[in-house]
Copies of this chain bind each other. A is one copy, B any other.
Amino acid sequence: MLSEEYSRFIESWGSLGVFWGINRSMARIHAFLMLSEQPVDLDTISDTLNISRGNASMSLKELRSWGAIQRVHASGDRRDFYIVEQDAWRMLFKIAKGRKEREFNPALYALRDLMSEADTEQQAQVNARLTQMEEILSTVHAVMNKALESEKSSKRMFDILKNFV
């Protein structure tokens, strides 16, 4: 049984997960594993969080594919156990990277194509707007690429922002 604080954290981690575009179950499982000193098996997860085994299994699989968690084995035990990836950064970046490519990039590329294809008598205001938008998105694009390029690079960016604040 989980304490109230544990539950609350797990649930709000779930909501934050939705913000990142991962579903609630996955995020809750991830939160639970963050709070577990010992490796945890599938049954414990599904019982504690009230998630079906099927769902838990799929969620664990996907979390694993993102490098968010690892599967480990206890000797003399047939079950699989799971632990979180020790480095919290890694997961955040993996997720961010995927979403950026799937959703951000296409919009930027479409915008650029639009601007290059546009006939020259494109109306002035529209042009100005698109130009401004393109500038913003391009910078965001560059920043994200840099941030997602290497752990070192991202940490440096993080520090710069930290100092700015």
Binding site for B on A (CB under 8 A): 3, 5-6, 8-9, 11-13, 15-16, 18-19, 21, 34-37, 84, 86, 88-89, 92, 99, 102-104, 106-107, 109-111, 113-114, 117-118, 123, 125-126, 129-130, 132-133, 136, 139, 142-143, 145-146, 156-158, 160-162, 164-165
- Docked-complex contact A157 and B146, CB < 8 angstroms: no
Q: How far is the CA of A129 from the CA of B84 in the complex (A)?
A: 10
Minimal beta-carbon separation of A23 from chain B (angstroms)? 14
A99 contacts which of B8, B11, B19, B123 (Cβ < 8 Å)? B19
A-B contact pairs, 13 of them (CB 8 A): A5-B114, A9-B107, A9-B111, A12-B106, A12-B107, A12-B110, A16-B107, A34-B129, A88-B129, A143-B161, A143-B164, A145-B165, A161-B161
Closest residue on chain B to residue A85 by CB atoms:
B129
What is the chain B residue whose CB lies nearest that of A33?
B129
